[in-house]
Structure 1
Amino acid sequence: MQTTAEYYCAFCGEANTTFIDYSGGFEQSYIEDCQVCCRPNILYIRIDEDTLEVEIDTDYEE
């Protein structure tokens, strides 16, 4: 199953959309460039096992 989720860039604060791959586990992290400012964000993704709700935190990639 794959779906999308929204996160906010750690650099410019703009909203971005990313794909969530549920087969990757309930806790994932990867780097994705902002669609607006092109700077790299570390995405920390947590998926609730019961509801499958997605929560994303971002951090700066130096």
Structure 2
Amino acid sequence: MTEPVTVICPYCGTQFETLADCSAGNQTYYEDCALCCHPILFHLRVDENGKLLHLETLREDE
């Protein structure tokens, strides 16, 4: 189950849309910015039914 999410790159400030895979439960993973290609750290939290609760994006060095 993927869900479209809009994020803002913590490096360059670009807003872009990506897909969050909620089927695997809570996750921490990296995805590159669509514009500046810096690695963004994603912290994904989902509930017991696989519904997205919270998505936090951070710089790699935070």
Shared fold per TM-score greater than 0.5? yes
Q: What RMSD over aligned residues (CA atoms) do the two structures have, in Å?
A: 2.0
Count of residue pairs brought into register by the alignment = 61
User: What is the aligned partner in structure 2 of residue 5 from structure 1?
Assistant: 5
Query: Mapping of 1:1-62 within 5 angstroms?
Result: 1-25=1-25, 27-49=26-48, 52-62=51-61
- Distance, in Å, in 1 between the alignment partners of 2:14 and 2:29 is 18
- The structural deviation recorded for 1:60 is 1.3
Gaps of 5+ in 2: none
Q: Displacement of 1:21 after TM fit?
A: 1.4
Runs of 4+ in 1 over 6 A off after TM superposition: none
% identity of equivalent residues: 35
Q: Measure how far apart 1:54 and its partner are.
A: 4.1
**1:53 Cα deviation after fit:** 3.7
- Structure 1 gaps of 5+ residues are none
Which amino acid in the other structure matches residue 9 of structure 1? Answer: C
